[in-house]
Amino acid sequence: MSQTLPLDHEHLQKLVTSDLVRPDQMLGAHQVTENGVAGVRFGVWAPNAQHVSMVGDFNGWNGFDNAMQRLDFGFWSAFVPAALHGQRYKYRVTGASGLTEDKMDPYGTFFEVRPSTSSIVWDQPYDWQDGAWMQARTQNFDRPVSVYEVHAPSWAKRDDGWFLNYRDFAHRLGEYASYMGYTHVELLGVMEHPFDGSWGYQVTGYYAPTSRMGSPEDFKYLVDHLHGLNIGVILDWVPGHFPTDVAGLANFDGGPLFEYADPRKGYHNDWNTLIFDYGRNEVVMFLVGSALKWLQDFHVDGLRVDAVASMLYLDFSRTEWIPNIHGGRENLEAIAFLKRLNEVTHHLAPGCMIIAEESTSFPGVTTPSPHGLGFDYKWAMGWMNDTLRYFEEDPLWRKYHHHALTFFNAYRTSENYVLAISHDEVVHLKKSLVAKMPGDWYMQRANYRAFLAMMWTTPGKKLLFMGQEFAQPTEWNHDAGLPWHLADVPDHRGIMNLVRRLNALYVGRADWHAGDTLDEGLQWISADDVENSVYAYIRRDPGSGAWSLVVANMTPVYRDLYPVGVPEAGDYRVLLSTDDGEYGGFGTQQPDLTAKAEGWNGQSHHLRLSLPPTSVLVLELVQDEDAKAAAVPTTKAAPKKAVEIEAMLPKSLQVTSIEPV
C-alpha cells in the first residue's frame, strides 16, 4: 500500500514550492484512522472554488453531509468515517461563478469503467516477486532493447468481445513476447481515459490503470509476470495535453486550473484538448508525481513521453500564438518541466528509461540536464520517415533516392535513438507496413523482409508495433483483435520467423547493439552504388572488435558474383538471408565464401556474392565454430509447430471469461 503523508501546512507548502514530488501520497483518497475512527481522508486542490463537498456511495451522493474544509494554498480536505474501500466518489465543486459540477479525483487510483466516471476508493497491497529485476535494471545504453509495442485492448479480446483481464493478458503476451525474442513491451495508453478511440492518449486518470482490463493489482501482476520472464515494461505517458471532458481536469474549480488560461497557449485545436500550465508548481508536481507513481509503485521500467514537440513549441500547429519572454517560440516552462521530470525520475527510480517522442531537431534531447532535456532516448522520426519513403518507392526509381538510407549515419550519434515503427505508421489510411511496399504480394513481402533486416542492423534500439511482426496486411483497428489466424499462414509465418531470427541475432551479438551511439558502431563499405541500389556496411562492437557484414540489394534484380570488400582474409558464412525459404524467399545459395586476396571498396580483401532480388545478407568471418554457435541463439534449431503457436496466441476460445470490473 502507498505511503500517506499528513495534509498539513508544511507538506502543502512543499507542494506549492515544487518540493513534494509525490503529491498523491497526500492528496486524493487515503484510508486512515483519525482519533481511533477508521475512514477515508480526501484531499483536493481547488483554489478558486467557493465550496467543495464529497459525494459518493457513503452518503447517498448527498452534497450536504460531507463538506470539505478549506486549507492553506487553495487545498481542501474532508475525513469521511463512513467511506469504505471499493466505494465510488466524486468531488462536488462550486466554482467562482456559482456553477456546481461533480469532478473525478485527479489523484484517483481506480475508476469506474467508461462511460461512468466515478472515482473508487482503492489502495490494496500487492506482494511483488521482482526484487532481483528491480535491482538490476538499467537504461540499457550498451544492451539490446527490442520493443514490442502493444495496444492492450485490441491485442486480443475475449470471446464475448470484452477486454482481456490484465492477468490473462500477462500470460498470453509474456509467452508470445518471449517466443519472439523481444526484450521489452511498450503499452499504448493504459492510463484511465474516457474514449476508446483516443487509444488512451486523452487521459483523465494519471494515477490509475484503466479499469477496462481489471484492478490496479491486476495491472501490477502483469508487470510482475513480465519481469519474471525477463521482459521490461514501458508505458506511453501523456503530459502534453488532456481532454475537455467536464468530469475530468478541465476547468476543475470553475475555471482554468490545470490548463493555461489563454487558449492561444492552453488549447490544442488539432486534438480538442487542453494543455497543462507548466508555470504552476502544483501542475508540475501533479505530472512528476504521476511519472513516479508508475515507475515506483507499479515497477514500470520506462515511460515514452508522447508528443514532446507539442510541448516544446508555443507555435506548434498554430497560426496565433504567444511568444516567450525573449520573443521566441520555445515554451520555456515546458522545457524546465521536462528537465525537472528527468532529473527526479532518474534520481528516485534508478535504471528507468525515459524516452521522448520528439519529431523536430530540438538540440540535446538526450543530453543530461541542465545542458539538455535529460531524456535517455529519442524516437528516430527522421530515420523512420526517410526509410519508409525509400521503401515505398518503385525499385526502378530508388537510385534517385539512394542516400535516404545513408543519411541517418550523418547524425545518428547526436542522440540516443530508438528506431520506432509505431502504431502511428499503420493507421489513418497510411496502410500496414507490408501494404506500403511496392509490387505484387511476393515482392511486397520481399521488400518488407529487407526493410526489417535493414532496421535491425541499423544502429539504434528497436520498436515494432503489434501485427507487423507477422505482416498484418490491413491497417490496425483498435476496435478489433489482431488477425491471429494469419500467423498460421506460411506467407505470414515466414515474416514472424524472420523477426524471431533478427531478435535472436540482435540480442546475441554485441556488434548489433553495443556501438549504437559510437562512430565505430557502423562502417560503410559501399554507400554509393546508386545504379545497382546496393549497400554494404559493417556492424562492429568497439569493445570486443566483433563484427558482421551487411549487404543489401534493393532492386528485384539477381546480382551474380557481386564484389564486396571485407577487412580480413578467411572463410565467411551467412548468418542471415532474408531470401531464405524459412522466411518466404527463394532460398538462393551462396558460392564460395572464401575472401579473395584482392582489395575492394578500400578493404584488403573481397567476397563475390550472389545477391538475391530485394534482399539483405548478413555474413561473419568463420572463427571458433563452437564459440560462435554458443554465442548466437538460432531460431532454426527449435521452431515451434503451428499447434504450439496456436496454444500461446490469444484465440478467443482459449480466453478465460472474466467479468468486467
| 176 touches 623 (CB < 8 A) | no
| 279 touches 314 (CB < 8 A) | no
Angle value at C-alpha 88, between 87 and 93, nearest 5 degrees: 135
| 285 touches 279 (CB < 8 A) | no
CA distances from 7 to 65, 72, 470, 483, 517 (A): 21, 10, 53, 51, 47
State the catalytic residue, choosing from 24, 259, 277, 306: 306
Amino acid sitting at position 86: G
- What's the CA gap between 64 and 412, in Å, rounded? 61
Q: How many helices (H) and strands (E) does the chain have?
A: 15, 28
DSSP character at residue 590:
P
Angle value at C-alpha 283, between 373 and 308, nearest 5 degrees: 35
Dihedral sign for Cα 502, 504, 508, 513, please.
positive
Amino acid sitting at position 362: F
Contacts of 253 (CB under 8 A, 6+ apart): 46, 47, 48, 49, 93, 95, 96
Dihedral sign for Cα 244, 250, 254, 259, please.
negative
Grid cell digits, residue 10: 508544511
| Helix (H), strand (E) at residue 267 | strand 267-268
- What's the CA gap between 468 and 52, in Å, rounded? 50
How many CB atoms lie under 10 A from the CB of residue 599?
Answer: 11
State the catalytic residue, choosing from 236, 357, 376, 541: 357
- What's the CA gap between 608 and 575, in Å, rounded? 16
Grid cell digits, residue 29: 483518497
Dihedral sign for Cα 439, 443, 448, 454, please.
negative
Spell 64-87 as b/e; 16+ CB within 10 A means b. Answer: eebebeebeebbbbbbbeebeeeb
Rg (Cα) of the chain, in Å, rounded?
A: 27
Amino acid sitting at position 562: Y
- What's the CA gap between 414 and 168, in Å, rounded? 41
DSSP character at residue 51:
E
SS3 content of the chain, % helix, strand, coil (to 5): 30, 25, 45
**Closest to 55 in 3D by CA, of 122, 98, 117:** 117
Q: Is 425 a catalytic residue?
A: no
- What's the CA gap between 529 and 402, in Å, rounded? 8
DSSP character at residue 61:
T
- What's the CA gap between 326 and 372, in Å, rounded? 19
Q: Is 112 a catalytic residue?
A: no
DSSP character at residue 313:
B
The catalytic residues are 306, 357
